[in-house]
Structure 1
Amino acid sequence: MFTGIHEVDWASLRHAHGSAEDVPGLLRGLTSADPAERGTALDELYGSLHHQGRVYDATLACVPFLLRLAAHEGVPERAGLVDLLVSIGDGDRADGRGDGDGAGAVRAGAEVFVRLTTDPDPGVRRAAAGAVVRFLDDPARALAVVRERLTAEREDGVLIGLIEALGLVVRRRPAVAGEALDLLAAQSAPPYGPAPRLAALAQLTGCAPERVPPDLVATALRLLRERSAQRARVSHAPVRPGGDSLVDRLHGAHPSDEEGARLLRTLHAALDDRLAERTALLEGQLGCPDPTDRCHAVWMAAALVRGWRGDHTATVRRVGEQLAEGEGRLRDAAVSVLRTLFALAAPAADHLHALVGARPDLWVQHWRGSGPVLGAPLDALARTGDARAVPVLAEVLSLPEPPRDAGSAVLCLGRAGAPLVPALRHALGRVPLDRPGAVERAAPLVRALGALRAAEAVPELVRLVGGRGGGPGARLTEVALEALEGIGPPAREAVPVLRAALGGEHAGAAAAALWAVERDAPAVLPVLREDLAAGDARRRTLAARRLARLGPAAGAALPALRGRAVDGHGARDGQHGRDLRDAEERAAAAGAVCSITGGTEEVARPLRELWTAHPPVRRAVAACLAALGPAAAPLRDLAATELARLRRHTARTYGYGSHDVPCDEELLRLCRVVVEGA
């Protein structure tokens, strides 16, 4: 297996973490008698040779050895190795030179995959089926291999892999696509079992929807129930030796019906924007007798609501009903999903409130080394904006050490959180600012006080602003200044401290707060103009946003803002993070120009470009347009088009962020304001 390994100059090759001199040891680790060592070796090979889907020169040098290891029956991790090889073959060059190198290297060993389709290990057979379709040069032979194995195979899991391979044939091998479709259609009907039929229906839905039965949802639900009945008669397979490694988690080596979850994900992905059918399918799944099926449905509901716009009331309500389930895994999944939906989880608020009331032990969670945090049910209830969370939050805020994220939950309540101001002040007063973790505990409380415009908290905020030195209190200064800005004119007693802070490290935040409290443009404008010329991108972006709040009073900053809006400041080096920072700065500058001039004429072109090229800045652009009223008419079409889209602007192929849903809902709200007012 390792013949020639010492002839490779590994030290001169590179992978994701630098020199590849550690690779021979990792390859040998795959043959270890210790399952933990094998799992670690495979994890590290994924992380170094194929980090984030990239292909490095060391990756290409490894392919022949990986192929030999995969072909050797004495290597227990062969299924994972085939998956790694498939991913390498589909990967992108880390140096940006294209994707042919990995595919070519793996294609050279395609005969290995043909042999592995008859391997004694079902996991290897399943992984090899897709590899044959991807890398065997002859399409007809690839289809013949899959067809032969469909006839001989008896394991449902491998049959599903073969059916997925047929779908690949349809998508990647047009010369034999018709024959593959016929095979898929045959597999979707009796006498085949429910799991293979579900897999075939999912592939047909994505490849040839015209060949799917008209009662697709009813058929899928019937097959799902039949499959669950079969599972109830068969005990779960044991966990694969080796523990809970990254590769185990990625490849479903758990007795939690990952196969069922994968079948349903594939079907929902194939349905794509057919939201009525997806909703009906979820409605049926959430009513299944098997808690595991309902748990899968809960996660599918999350993907639907977080990826697509529409009226999800019924789906969310059914997810909420799972909270009454005694099976903890299902309940925890439902809470976790509802927590990510924020206000859209309101149809489930009654169920959340009932769970919070019944389980005080879930109000606070304790994580080793990081202090207490809000329990997920209470946090989810607060995120809906439901005022019934207020009394419970008041109790947890009164604890000797309140959850560090309690203030963030209060922010979600809006004005309904006003009764919590005394509890927030009391909790803030008990934070020891000279201890580690003080900023993380205090900052959410300060932000909540600012959002609630708690004028009675001004003395505490002033003390934070007036703090001296480099400790945590000083690091809270900017947060306290932003809170004072939120309070506005009622914070008049803070004016002397704000004026003193104009010459300090947080001068920009002090200027913004001073403008909100006392409209003193001569004092504020020079500070913000200086920040606009700073070398730090974040400081420039904040300055532009703060200048926008001055409106016409910031007229002297127009020349610099116009330049930022049109040309930006960040280098165009192709890095996503750099490009996004540049887009945020340009959007802030363009918004300030609109606010100062009262129209879009000077920056219409950059605003259109930013909207199209950088979806993350759409909220900022929409907020700018919403504030203009009728003057936003030249760009009204942007908002109208956005409102007609089904896909959320935050939807991403690589997963979801914690605030994706509220960000998109806020964009839609702003777009409606633009359309109605322009």
Structure 2
Amino acid sequence: MFTGIDEVDWASMRHAYGSAEDVPALLEGLASTDAAERETALDGMYGAVHHQGDVYDSTLACVPFLFALAVREEVRDRAGIVELLASIGGVGDTGGAEGVGGVVGIGGVGGISGDEQDGGGAAARARAAVRAGAEVFVRLMTDPDAAVRRAAAGAVVRFLDEPERVLGLLRERIRAERDDRVLLALIEGLGRFARRHPSRAGEAVDLLEAQSAPPHGPGLRLAALGQLAGCAPERLPADLVPHVLRLLRERARQRPAVPDEPDRPGTDTLIGRLRLLRPSDEEGSQLLRTLHTALDDRVTDRIALLSGQLACPDPVDRCNAVWMSTGLFRTWRANYTEPVALIGAQLPGEDVRLRDAAVSVLAELHELAAPAADALHTLVTERPETRVRTWERGTPALGDALKALARTGDPRAVPVLAEVLAGPVVPAELGHVIPHLGRAAAPLAPALRGRLAGLALDAPDLHDRAVPLLCAVAALGDTEALPAVLRLMTGLPAEVRLRETVVSSAVRTLGALGAAAREAVPVLRGLLDGPCGITAAEALWMLEGDAEAVLPLLLGELSGEAGGSARVAAEALGRMGPAARPAAPGLHRLIRSGDLWERTAAACALWRVTGEPDPASDTLRAAWRESPYTRVPIATLAVRLGPEAEPLRDLLRTELSARRRHRAAPGGYAGTDLHEDEVLLRRCREACSIAA
């Protein structure tokens, strides 16, 4: 297996963490008789040698040894090695098949090495090396180990460059195979083949259609329907949704209990942690994910399917549906009242896995979780233990159910949050959810004020505690909190962690308090020459309205001499409006910046300062097209400009007619993307209604 391994100059090679001299030990660990050692070695391969999907010279050097390990029947867990090889060889190669099922190893979700961008480099050589060993995958399709056969099925389709032979192998193995999990992989292989070789897809599609009908079992039929949806949607049954739901119920009746894996080690590795996070019915989850992904923009069908799944009698199917819902919600704009209410209906009962899945999804939905608000309120009132999550290490966190309820803006969250505020420790998230409640959260002001005043100024976690509380005080406009805010601005020891961030947050809070905070003016003036100068200048303007007092500082920062401050200065000047007209020449210069965000901030400010759409509108239209992340601030500007925003109105109307969420992109998602999209839609509607 390791012939020649000592002849490789590993020390001269690199992986993600430096020298590759430790790679031979990882390769040898893959062949260990000890399960924990094997898993640790595989985790090391993904963590360093194939880090986040990248390939290095050491990755290439490993390929021959990985193939040698894959064919030795005495080596345990060879399926993981086959998946690793497929991931290494598949870097940057979608083949028209990604996202529609497939047997994928942990590396299959990683990043793509920059080396392959020019069509050569390490990634291209890795693809060539794995393709050169494709005969090994052919051999492994008949391996005694079913897990190996399953992994090899997908690898043959991806790396054997003989389409007719590949199709023949799939056809032969489907007839001979008796293991349902391997059959699922073969069906996925047929779908991948049809997408990869559309000119030869006819027979593959025929085979898929045959597998989607009796006498085949419900799991195989669901798998075939998922693949047909991705490569031949015209061959799907007309009554697709009820047909799938019938198969789901039939599969649930036949599904055996989830088997234990007594030989699986409990290693503290990424692979071990991911295994613990897998759904209890991983196969069913994959079947449904494949179908939903293939249906893509058939949103009406997907909502009907999801609602049917959420009403299934089997809690495992319902749990799979809950997790499946996030991809739909995050990607497409639609009326999700029914499925969200059904997710809320999963909260009662004692199925912890199902309840945790439901609250986790609802917490991401923000205002879209409103149809589940009654169920969330019942949960946080009847189960007080759900309000705060405690950890062995770290500070307590706000429970997802209470977080979700507050983010809907439901005022019933207020008394529950008041009880949490009265507890021994206030979770940091509490301060961040209060702004979602608006003025309904006013009764919380005294408790927030008291917590803010009671903070120890030399506490190592002061930043984590103070900033969320300041955010809440600013949202409520609690002028009685002024002494506590000033205390944070003037009394912090120099060594406090993230001191400037705390002071800046306090300054912004003063600005939000308005004229009632005028007694803080001397303190703010004292901050003008420091690192919080721009924030202090803007707060001074909001408290006094004296442009002459703050313009010199902002104009100096606008030049960018301080580094990275020009954008912040431009945003402050824009909020000053016509009073900042002396800044117009500097904003004109900044509008030509090479930085997108500086250009966008300068254009927004210039329009507000001068009242003239040119040249700002052209810059903003270009920014809107260049990056979806600029759209919320541009739409917000349109609201503020009112009828004067006519040059942008067509962009807003087009956005309102778009079905896809503005930040939706394959393979990437931030936790606020869905909420930001809803904010964008509200801004666009408001701006367009002003024009009307």
TM-score category, normalised to shorter length? over 0.9
Give the 3 Å change call, closer, same or farther, for CA 45–554 of structure 1 in structure 2. Answer: same
List aligned pairs for 1:118-137, cutoff 5 A: 118-137=142-161
Aligned to 1:545: 571
Relative distance call for 1:47 and 1:252 in structure 2 (3 A) is same
Q: Choose the corresponding residue for 1:450, options 474, 490, 493.
A: 474
1:47 matched to 2:60: no
Show CA shifts across 1:586-612 (max 9, x none): 221221112112233212332222211
Determine if the alignment matches structure 1 residue 321 to structure 2 residue 321. no
Residues in 1 aligned to 2:378 and 2:174: alpha-carbon distance in whole angstroms: 50
Question: What residue identity is the alignment partner of 2:504?
Answer: E
Q: Aligned equivalents of 1:490 and 1:323: distance in 2?
A: 44
The answer on 1:665 being equivalent to 2:687 is no
Aligned to 2:231: 207
Structure 1 equivalent of residue 98 of structure 2: none
Indicate if the aligned counterparts of 2:434 and 2:475 stay in contact, CA closer than 8 A: no
Mean alpha-carbon deviation: is it higher for 526-535 or for 306-315?
A: 526-535
- Looking at structure 1, the residues matched to 555 and 308 of structure 2 have their Cα atoms a distance apart, in angstroms, of 59
Of 337-346 and 41-50, the range deviating more from structure 2? 41-50
Deviations along 1:198-246, one digit per CA (max 9) or x if unpaired, are: 0000000111110000011111111111111111x44525365223543
Is 1:594–1:624's contact at 8 Å kept on the other side of the alignment?
no
- Does residue 1:596 correspond to 2:609, yes or no? yes
Residue of structure 2 equivalent to 1:567: 593
Q: 1:219 aligns with which of 243, 246, 264?
A: 243
The answer to whether structure 1 residue 173 and structure 2 residue 186 are counterparts is: no
SS in 2 for 1:450: helix
* 2:515 and 2:544 in contact (8 A); partners too: yes
What's 1:243 paired with?
A: 266
The range that moved more, 201-210 or 655-664, is 655-664
Matched pairs, number? 664
**Partner secondary structure for residue 397 of structure 2:** strand
Equivalent-residue separation in structure 2 for 1:612 and 1:625 (angstroms)? 16
How do 1:494-509 residues align onto structure 2 when only pairs under 5 Å count? Answer: 494-509=520-535
2:308 is the counterpart of 1:287: no
Percent identity, aligned pairs only, is 55
- 2:32 is aligned with 1:32: yes
1:299 and 2:323 are equivalent in the alignment? yes
Find 2:118's aligned residue among 97, 101, 104.
97
Query: Cα distance 1:567–1:534, how it changes in 2: closer, same or farther (>3 A)?
Result: closer
Q: Does the CA-based 8 Å contact 2:49-2:56 persist in structure 1?
A: yes
> For residues 366 and 127 of structure 1, what CA distance do their matches in structure 2 show?
40
Counterpart of 2:105? none
Within the candidate set 487, 510, 513, 1:463 is matched to 487
Q: Which amino acid counterpart does residue 69 of structure 1 have in structure 2?
A: L
Deviation, 1:64, is 1.1
The one-letter code matched in structure 2 to 1:2 is F
CA contact (8 A) 1:371 1:403 kept: yes
Q: Is the 8 A contact 2:346 2:355 kept in 1?
A: yes
CA RMSD, Structure 1 to Structure 2 (Å): 1.8
SS state at 1:289 partner: coil
- For 1:482, the equivalent position in structure 2 comes to 508
Q: Deviations over 1:567-586 (max 9, x none)?
A: 33xxxxxxxxxxxxx32222
The 5 A counterparts of 1:107-118 are: 107-118=131-142
Equivalent position SS for 1:224: helix
CA deviation vs aligned residue, 1:80-122 (integer Å, no higher than 9, x gap) = 1111111111214433333532221100000000011111222
- Once residues 376 and 279 of structure 2 are traced to their aligned partners in structure 1, the CA distance between those partners, rounded to angstroms, is 29
When the two structures are superposed, what TM-score results if normalisation uses the length of structure 1? 0.95
- Contact 1:239 1:253 (8 Å CA) reproduced: no
Residue 12 of structure 2 corresponds to which residue in structure 1? 12
The residue identity in structure 1 corresponding to 2:529 is G
Give the 3 Å change call, closer, same or farther, for CA 47–235 of structure 1 in structure 2: closer
Q: CA deviation at 1:410?
A: 1.2
Q: Secondary structure at the residue paired with 1:369? A: coil
Q: State how far apart, in whole Å, the 1-side matches of 2:467 and 2:277 are.
A: 41
- Asked whether the 8 Å contact 2:35–2:263 carries over to 1, the reply is no
Deviations 1:497-552 (A, max 9, x none): 22222222211111111111111111111122222234566532221111110112
CA contact (8 A) 2:69 2:78 kept: yes
| AA in 2 matched with 1:145 | L
Corresponding position: 1:267 with 2:287: no
What SS class does the counterpart of residue 390 from structure 2 fall into?
A: strand
Task: Indicate the larger mover: 93-102 or 509-518.
Answer: 93-102
The question of whether the paired residues in 1 share the 8 Å contact of 2:279 and 2:285 is answered with no
- Say whether residues 1:409 and 2:433 are aligned partners: yes
With over 3 angstroms needed to count, the CA separation of the structure-2 counterparts of 1:338 and 1:172, relative to structure 1, is: same
Give the Å deviation of 1:422.
0.4
Q: Decide whether aligned partners of structure 1 residues 396 and 471 sit closer, same or farther in structure 2, where only a CA change above 3 A counts.
A: farther
**Structure 2 residue identity aligned to 1:586:** R
What per-residue deviation string (whole Å, max 9, x for no partner) do you get for residues 388-434 of structure 1?
11111111112232222221121221121111110100111222121
Partner letter of residue 666 of structure 2? T
Pair 112,253 (structure 1): closer, same or farther in 2 beyond 3 Å = farther
Q: Which amino acid aligns with 1:102?
A: A
Contact residue 89 and residue 103 of structure 1 kept, 8 A: yes
Q: What amino acid maps onto 1:356 in structure 2?
A: V
Q: 3-state DSSP class of the match of 1:488? A: helix
Once the two structures are TM-superposed, the CA of residue 387 in structure 1 deviates from its matched residue by: 0.7
Alignment-derived partner of residue 520 in structure 1: 546
Paired with 1:391 and 1:97, the residues of 2 have a C-alpha distance of: 59
| Cα distance in 1, alignment partners of residues 174 and 520 from structure 2 | 77
Deviations 1:43-98 (A, max 9, x none): 11112222222222221221111111112112223111111111111214433333
Aligned mates of 1:347, 1:531 — CA distance in 2: 47
1:392 equivalent in structure 2: 416
Q: 1:368 aligns with which of 386, 392, 413?
A: 392
Aligned to 1:198: 222
State the distance in 2 between where 1:278 and 1:462 align. 53
Counterpart residue number, 2:185:
161
Q: Deviations over 1:475-516 (max 9, x none)?
A: 411000011111222222222222222222211111111111
Contact in 2 for aligned 1:382/1:389 (Cα 8 Å): yes
Partner in structure 1 of residue 629 of structure 2 = 616
> Structure 1 599/190 Cα, relative in aligned 2: closer, same or farther at 3 Å?
farther
Is this contact kept in 2: 1:599–1:628, CA < 8 A?
no
Answer yes or no: is the 8 Å Cα contact 1:239–1:255 preserved in 2: no
**Alpha carbons of structure 1 residues 240 and 534: separation in structure 2 relative to 1, 3 Å:** farther
Conserved in 2, the CA contact under 8 Å of 1:467 and 1:477? no
What letter matches 1:407 in structure 2?
G
Separation in structure 1 between the aligned mates of residue 605 and residue 644 of structure 2, nearest angstrom: 14
Where does residue 103 of structure 2 map in the other structure? none
Distance 2:351 2:160 in 1: 46
How many angstroms apart in 2 are the aligned matches of 1:328 and 1:412? 28
- Preserved contact between residue 457 and residue 488 of structure 2 (Cα < 8 Å): no
Which of 290, 309, 332 is the equivalent residue of 1:308?
332
Contact 1:201 1:212 in 2 (8 A): yes
Mark the CA change 1:130 to 1:252 in structure 2 (over 3 Å): closer, same or farther: farther
Query: Any conservation in 2 of the 1:398–1:427 contact (CA below 8 Å)?
Result: no
- The letter of the residue matching 1:628 is L
Q: Residues of 1 paired with 2:614 and 2:16: CA distance?
A: 47
Q: Which whole-Å CA distance do the structure 2 matches of 1:638 and 1:371 have between them?
A: 44
The match for 1:331 is 355
In 2, Cα distance between the equivalents of 1:510 and 1:373? 31
Asked if the contact 2:629–2:663 (Cα under 8 Å) also holds between the matched residues in 1, the reply is yes
SS at match of 1:423: helix
Displacement of 1:368 in angstroms is 2.6
Contact between 2:311 and 2:318, CA under 8 Å: does it hold in 1?
Answer: yes
Aligned AA (2:508): E
Inter-partner Cα distance in structure 2 for 1:251 and 1:105: 29
Give SS of 1:470's match.
Answer: coil
C-alpha spacing 1:134/1:66, structure 2 compared with 1 (3 Å)? same
